[in-house]
Amino acid sequence: MANIMNSLYNMRILDDLARQETVIHKLHSLMKLLTTVSYLTVVVSFGRYEIGGLLPFLIYPVMVFTLAELPVKPILLRILIVSPFIIGIGILNPFFDQQGYLLGERVISRGWITFGSILLKSGLTVTAALLLIATTGMDRLAGALRMMKIPRIFVLQLLLTYRYISVLMEEVARILRAYSLRAPNQKGVHRSAWGSLAGQLILRTFDRAQRIYEAMCLRGFAGEYNTGGFKEIRAWDLSYFIGWALFFAVARMYNIPMLIGSLITGVIK
Amino acid sequence: MHMADALISPIVGGTMWVATAGVAAYSIKKIQTEMDEKKVPLMGVMGAFIFASQMINFSIPGTGSSGHIGGGLILAILLGPYAGFLTMASVLTIQALFFADGGLLALGSNVFNMGFFTCFIAYPLIYKTFMKQGYSTRRILIASLFTAIIGLQLGAFGVVLETLFSGKTELPFGTFLLLMQPIHLAIGAVEGLVTAAVVAYIWNSRPEIIEKAASGEALGNVAIKKVVGGLVIVAMITGAGLSWFASSDPDGLEWAMINTAGTAELEAPEGLHQTLLHLQSKIAFLPDYSFKASGNEPEPGVGEGGDAWPAISGGTSAAGLVGGGMTLLLAAFMGFGISMLKKRKSKVSI
Q: Is the pLDDT of residue B304 over 90?
A: no
Instruction: Residue window 16-35, chain A: list those with CB within 8 Å of chain B.
Output: none
Residue A225 lies in a domain: no
B156 versus B60: the higher-pLDDT residue is: B156
**Number of domains composing chain A:** 2
Task: Reply yes or no on whether the pLDDT at B144 is more than 80.
Answer: yes
**pLDDT band, very low/low/confident/very high, at B262 (cuts 50, 70, 90):** very low
Same-domain pairing of A159 and A86: no
Task: Return the pLDDT at A190.
Answer: 86
Q: What is the pLDDT of residue B343?
A: 75
Domain assignment present for A224: no
Provide the residue-wise pLDDT of chain A in tens; the chain has 269 residues.
567 778 888 888 888 999 999 999 999 999 999 999 999 999 999 887 888 889 999 999 999 999 999 998 888 888 887 777 778 777 877 777 777 766 666 777 788 888 888 889 989 999 999 999 999 999 899 989 988 988 888 998 899 899 888 888 888 989 988 998 998 888 788 888 888 888 998 898 888 888 888 888 898 877 666 666 678 889 999 999 999 999 999 999 888 888 888 888 887 76
Please name the member of B100, B171, B197 whose beta carbon is closest to the beta carbon of A126. Answer: B100
Range of the structural domain that residue A174 is part of: 152-218
Asked if residue A110 is part of any domain, the answer here is: yes
Same domain, residue pair A51 and A91: yes
CATH 1.10.1760.20, applies to B5-245:
yes
Whether residue B146 is predicted with pLDDT greater than 90 in this model: the reply is yes
Residue A13's CB: how many other CB atoms inside 10 A?
Answer: 17
Given a cut of 90, whether residue B155 has pLDDT beyond it is yes
The closest CB to that of B324, out of A118, A188, A257, belongs to A257
Looking at A219-223, B253-257, B326-330, which range is the least confident one?
B253-257
Residues A127 and A169 in one domain: no
Give the per-residue pLDDT at B105.
92
- For the ranges A127-136, B10-19, B84-93, B247-256, the lowest mean pLDDT is seen at B247-256
Q: Mark whether A82 and A32 lie in a shared domain.
A: yes
Q: Does position B220 have pLDDT exceeding 50, yes or no?
A: no
Whether A223 is covered by a domain: the verdict is: no
Question: Which pLDDT score is estimated for B234?
Answer: 63
Residues of A (196-215) whose Cβ lies below 8 Å from B: 196-203, 205-206, 208-210, 212-213
Asked if the model's pLDDT at residue B62 lies above 60, the reply is yes
What pLDDT digit, counting tens, does each position of B98-138 carry?
Answer: 888 888 999 999 999 999 999 999 999 999 998 888 888 89
Identify whether residues A135 and A238 lie together within a single domain. yes
- Report yes or no on A33 lying in a domain: yes
Distance, in Å, from the CA atom of B10 to the CA atom of A43, rounded to the nearest integer, reads 9
Last residue of a domain, one of A176, A191, A218: A218
Residues of B in contact with A90 (CB under 8 A): 169
Which residues in chain B (113-152) have CB-CB distances under 8 A to chain A?
none
My answer on whether A83 and A210 are in the same domain is no
Residue B115: per-residue pLDDT: 93
Q: Are A12 and A139 members of one domain?
A: yes
Chains A, B: CB pairs < 8 Å: 379
Across the interface, whether the CB atoms of B6 and A156 are under 8 A apart is answered: no
Residue B306 has a pLDDT of 39
Is residue A116 domain-resident?
yes
Q: What is the pLDDT of residue A77?
A: 83
Probe site for chain A from B211, B327, B334 (most A CB atoms < 10 A):
B327
Write down the domain spans for chain B. Answer: 5-245, 248-296, 314-350
Could you tell me if A141 and A95 lie in one domain?
Answer: yes
pLDDT-based confidence at B279, cuts 50/70/90? Answer: low
**Are A203 and A78 found together in one domain?**
no
| Residue B251: per-residue pLDDT | 42
Examine the domain organization and report whether A69 and A170 are in the same domain. no
The answer to whether residues A24 and A84 belong to one domain is: yes
CB within 8 Å: B309 and A132: no
User: pTM of the entire structure?
Assistant: 0.80
Q: Are residues A44 and A165 in the same domain?
A: no
What percent of chain B stands above pLDDT 90?
29
Which residues have C-beta within 8 Å of that of residue B240, sequence separation ≥ 6?
B283
Dist. CA B246–CA B285, nearest whole Å: 9
| Closest C-alpha to B219, from B31, B22, B24 | B31
